[in-house]
């Protein structure tokens, strides 16, 4: 039996930029900002501050939608809906944990993707796919 792992993100929209450096910058910014927003969300959960939970989640939904991280997006959407009405704390708490887990998985995959981008960028700048040592030995 073959198990197909659902892709955690889709950068089709972002790849329209056609600039690997800028794509890497956007992904790094997404990872940094989302980690900060998740921390804010946790603080709001600890205080049962439903309005800040909702506001923080709405911010994360925008950038998460841009990289088409559908699994995380759907969890964030559910949190936003429940937080809007300020109830079902146990369900919200469960969803918070799911969101944190989904982000951890997404972060790991995006970091692997970034390594690939950096490798491609490095190869693009090296003539004839030579190593930096080969270039140094040739010119010096």
* Calpha distance 34→103 (Å, rounded): 8
Chain-wide mean pLDDT for the chain?
86
What confidence tier does 107 reach under pLDDT thresholds 50, 70, 90? very high
Architecture per CATH, 19-111: Up-down Bundle (1.20)
Phi first, then psi, for residue 126 (nearest 5°) are: -95, 120
Give the Å distances, CA to CA, from 9 to 23, 73, 86, 125. 14, 10, 30, 27
With a pLDDT cut of 90, the percent of the chain lying above it is: 64
* Calpha distance 52→85 (Å, rounded): 12
pTM: 0.80
**Structure token digits, residue 25:** 């910058």
Rounded to the nearest 10°, the torsion over CA 83, 87, 89, 91 is: -80
């Amino acid at each position: 039996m073959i198990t197909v792992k659902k892709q955690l993100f889709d950068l089709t929209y972002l790849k329209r930029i056609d600039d690997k450096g800028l794509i890497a910058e956007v992904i790094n910014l997404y990872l940094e900002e989302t980690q900060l927003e998740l921390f804010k969300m946790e603080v709001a959960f600890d205080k049962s501050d439903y309005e800040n939970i909702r506001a923080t989640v709405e911010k994360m939904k925008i950038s998460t939608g841009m990289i088409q991280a559908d699994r995380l997006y759907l969890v964030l959407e559910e949190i936003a809906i429940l937080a809007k009405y300020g109830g079902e704390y146990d369900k919200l708490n469960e969803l918070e944990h799911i969101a944190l887990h989904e982000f951890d998985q997404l972060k790991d995959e995006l970091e692997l993707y970034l390594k690939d981008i950096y490798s491609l960028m490095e190869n693009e700048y090296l003539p004839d796919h030579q190593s930096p040592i080969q270039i140094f030995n040739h010119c010096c």
